[in-house]
A and B are shown apart, each in its own frame.
Chain A
Amino acid sequence: MPLIPVVLWTDALVFLLLAVTALFAVWAARHEHLRAPWRRVVRSRIGVATLVVLLAYAVVGLLDTVHLRLKLDRADASGEVRHAPEVLSLLDLALSGLRERQEKTYSAPFATHLHTKEALDQPDGTVIRDYPRLQHGGAHLADPERDRAWDIAWRSLIGLIKGLSLWALLAAGLVWWLARRHGQPFDAVRDRILRGQTQIPWRTVLGTLALVLILAFVIGELALKYHVLGTDKVGEDVLYQALKSIRTGLLIGTLTTLIMLPAAILLGIMAGYFRGWVDDVIQYLYTTLNSIPGVLLIAATILMLQVYMSNHADEFASLVERADLRLLFLCLILGVTSWTGLCRLLRGEALKLREIDYVQAAQALGVGHFTIIARHILPNVMHIVLITLVLDFSGLVLAEAVLSYVNIGVDPTMNSWGNMINSARLELARDPIVWWSLAAAFLFMFTLVLAANLFADVVRDAFDPRLRGV
């Protein structure tokens, strides 16, 4: 076999998450009260624009979630096929150029020379101190001073054309599909989209998509020959790090809630529905957890995990598995600190719902408690769950950075924006300053969180019954 698939714990959970999302989508599509708010979401311009951006992030994150081990080129003496010990993801393979082209140390974005001076042996035997040429960044240029600007412009143009061609293809496909669905001529549909007269704002979708594609292709084209965002202290490409960090950010934002969601929903509804001692016990549980400052609880558990890992080092096969387990643990503990809010909201809602006529009628007819919860209560609190999910997401992405910065976040070997900031924090004090690692982390994080915040607003407005009339 040329490769062995590797499924890490978090990978498995992501696949589970995808399955759950797909099931929910099918289920929601069949229920009008859930379909209507989503329709509102996709009819908002901000909603669809942010959705495109979020999907772009999700694609990168998902590519980074499929892990495998490649076959080694040389079989050993016995002729047995061996596999590399290194666990790679599809994203690693797609970016193998970036991953492998390491420089010696810092280099600025688009630089052709190293950021620090070194003693260089000249052909005539003398030694001078100067900035050496990079091994990979702009190495194809004969005279960087003269050619670099033209080369960058030329490559950007090629990227632009490639991106636009792909976009044109997709756009034409979309228009064709819409035309067929509505039974209208191609031109009419195209003109309606261009004038922004469609119900779903396809013009915004296509505009955002064009932006994303062009950006991706231009950067991709340039990244083949340059370090677009420079290199860090050990010469690793910053763009690669930033892209790898996307998975970490997304996982923290989504898995955390996924892990605790069942508990929060079950306990919250039970507390509100059964009241009495069940309510007391559950209330006690979440008040207790809530009273512990979140950061401290996280710090304590991560500390514990660290000690456990260093005492039982032999239980973890590889660094990747170790880092993965720590990420999972972090999601778990972040979930523990964040489920209480949702639980309290659901309890309040369930308290209200159990007094409503149709629930009372069901009770009078002798319908079982759990049937009532599944039939009547759960579907009617789903909007709260959804709103909480999307509102929490950006907060969790931001929390990851802070926690990693204090060394109680993800494993230091794992790529994450927090770790990038952490390792870059002293670089601002260097002279001349090294700003690109920070800038890259800032840019990628800001885009994701901003998109998530805007999207969350749209979802909340669409789902919150109080805001319906407005």
Chain B
Amino acid sequence: MTAYIVRRLLYAIPILIGVNLLTFMLFFVVNSPDDMARMHLGQKRVTEEAIQSWKAERGYDRPLLYNAEAGGLASLTDTILFQKSVKLFVFQFGSSDAGRDIGYDISQRMWPSLAIALPVLLIGLAFNISYALFIVFFRATYVDIGSVVLLVAMMSISGLFYIIGGQFLIGKLWHLVPISGYDQGLNAWKFLILPVIVGVVAGIGSGTRWYRTLFLEEIGRDYVRTARAKGLSERVVLFRHVLRNALIPILTGVVVVLPLLFMGSLITESFFGIPGLGSYTIDAISNQDFAIVRAMVFLGAVLYILGLILTDISYTLVDPRVRLQ
């Protein structure tokens, strides 16, 4: 298994290089560093000198892909591509175009992101699974049909409306919690409640429906029929057999999102004014800060690959039949 993991990790390197090349091309092939400098300094009344110094300060004064002036190996390494990419692989994100240290920002901002993402994940999981079990228990009755209609309707509502509605109802109309903002340490809880509730509610539709299908698929299996034939009650069948066996797909589904929790939710965070990584990225996008966006893309790719590997490992843990080679 160790060999397998090592191979998977090595396999991640070409993928990350690909991700890097792709984002690099997206940013720099169409827009030269000159364009970027002009944009950051403001279009009007910008001198050539100012552009040059802006570029020199941020390391954009080298050639893009190939440095003809430098000889030998330096013709490849002394370029923007190399200088700006290689450090990403050791998680040295450098400084943003506005001059702040990206690595420090990320280490500060990942905690608020986690503080929202983790409760949303856990509470959502608990609620969705219990609701799905409830529906399956009453399958083929009006409870089932009504619930499915409700779930499809909930799925069809844009996430934006959950946020807007939540802020309006709980924050503005009932004055239960502040609408947006954040506080240090444990005082943050009252700012976190609303986003967590909204996050959980927004996920009920698709989540519960997915678990319901899982359970229904499981309930048609032979071992369930055997268990029933043995005279076990529906409750025991459901909780002891169906739930336990359905845990495998549930667990693997959860594991794959675990690393991505760090990334934060782009929309939720910027809506609720929470200083996490999601709002960080959104701000970077609206400020057109390429350095931050590239760093976040890279980080996202790393976490995604990590998630895939974790999923494979979790397979072996829950299902002894799976062997990784």
Contact = CB atoms under 8 A, between A and B. Distances in A.
Specify whether A and B are partners.
yes
A79 B27 CA distance: 50
A293 B286 CA distance: 17
A429 B23 contact: no
Contacts of B159: 398, 402
A401 B22 CA distance: 26
Central interface residue in A296, A394, A429, by most chain B CB within 10 Å? A296
A405 B172 CA distance: 21
Q: Is chain A's binding surface mostly helix, strand, loop or mixed?
A: helix
Contacts, number: 116
A303 B39 CA distance: 12
A300 B27 contact: yes
Contacts of B290: 303
A408 B288 CA distance: 11
A250 B179 CA distance: 33
A150 interface: no
Interface residues of B, number: 45
Interface residues of A, number: 44
Contacts of B260: 293
Contacts of B263: 293
Interface stretch (A24-32, A170-178, A350-358, A449-457): A449-457
Interface in B205-240: none
Nearest to B304: A291
A421 interface: yes
B15 A291 contact: yes
Given A290-B304, A303-B288, A446 B18 contact: no
Contacts of A418: 160
Interface string B297-310: 10011001100000
A319 B132 CA distance: 49
A178 B14 CA distance: 62
A307 B293 CA distance: 15
Contact of B297 (A287, A296, A417): A296
Interface stretch (B86-94, B110-118, B149-157): B149-157
Central interface residue in B156, B266, B304, by most chain A CB within 10 Å? B156
B26 A300 contact: yes
A429 B172 contact: yes
Central interface residue in A291, A292, A425, A442, by most chain B CB within 10 Å? A291
A445 B39 CA distance: 36
Nearest to B167: A428
B21 to A, nearest CB: 9
Contacts of A407: 285-286
A172 B121 CA distance: 54
A306 to B, nearest CB: 8
A428 B15 contact: no
A78 interface: no
A284 B14 contact: yes
B152 A450 contact: yes
A295 interface: yes
Given A292-B297, A297-B297, A406-B285, A308 B14 contact: no
A398 B159 CA distance: 8
A288 interface: yes
A407 B267 CA distance: 11
Contacts of B158: 398, 401-402, 417, 421, 442, 445, 449
Contact of A438 (B14, B31, B164): B164
Interface in B305-319: 305
A450 B19 CA distance: 36
Contact of A300 (B153, B161, B297): B297
A304 interface: yes
Contacts of B36: 307
Central interface residue in B14, B27, B155, B158, by most chain A CB within 10 Å? B158
Nearest to B270: A406
A212 B23 CA distance: 47
A222 B297 CA distance: 50
Contact of A454 (B19, B152, B288, B297): B152
Q: Is chain B's binding surface mostly helix, strand, loop or mixed?
A: helix
A406 B293 contact: no
B164 A428 contact: yes
A445 B162 CA distance: 14
A374 to B, nearest CB: 31
B282 interface: yes
A405 B161 CA distance: 12
Given A293-B297, A303-B293, A406-B285, A288 B30 contact: no
A37 to B, nearest CB: 20
Contacts of A293: 260, 263, 296-297, 300-301, 304
Contact of A301 (B26, B266, B296): B26
Central interface residue in A292, A407, A418, by most chain B CB within 10 Å? A292
A299 interface: yes
Contacts of A402: 158-160, 267
Interface string A368-410: 0000000000000000000000000010001001100111100
Contacts of A417: 158
Given A394-B156, A450-B152, A453-B155, A311 B15 contact: no
Given A293-B300, A303-B293, A450-B153, A284 B35 contact: no
A287 B161 contact: no
Interface in B21-55: 22-23, 26-27, 30-31, 35-36, 39
22 contacts: A287-B15, A288-B19, A288-B22, A292-B22, A293-B260, A293-B296, A297-B297, A303-B290, A306-B288, A307-B35, A398-B158, A401-B160, A402-B267, A406-B285, A407-B285, A418-B160, A425-B164, A428-B172, A438-B164, A442-B157, A446-B156, A449-B157
Per CB-CB distance, the 9 closest pairs between chain A and chain B, nearest first, are: A288-B18, A291-B301, A293-B300, A450-B156, A449-B156, A299-B285, A291-B304, A296-B297, A307-B31
Given A401-B160, A453-B156, 9 more contacts: A291-B304, A293-B263, A296-B281, A300-B26, A303-B288, A304-B30, A398-B159, A418-B160, A453-B152
Interface of B: 14-16, 18-19, 22-23, 26-27, 30-31, 35-36, 39, 152-153, 155-161, 164, 167-168, 172, 260, 263, 266-267, 270, 281-282, 285-286, 288, 290, 293, 296-297, 300-301, 304-305
Interface of A: 284, 287-293, 295-297, 299-301, 303-304, 306-308, 310-311, 394, 398, 401-402, 405-408, 417-418, 421, 425, 428-429, 438, 442, 445-446, 449-450, 453-454, 457
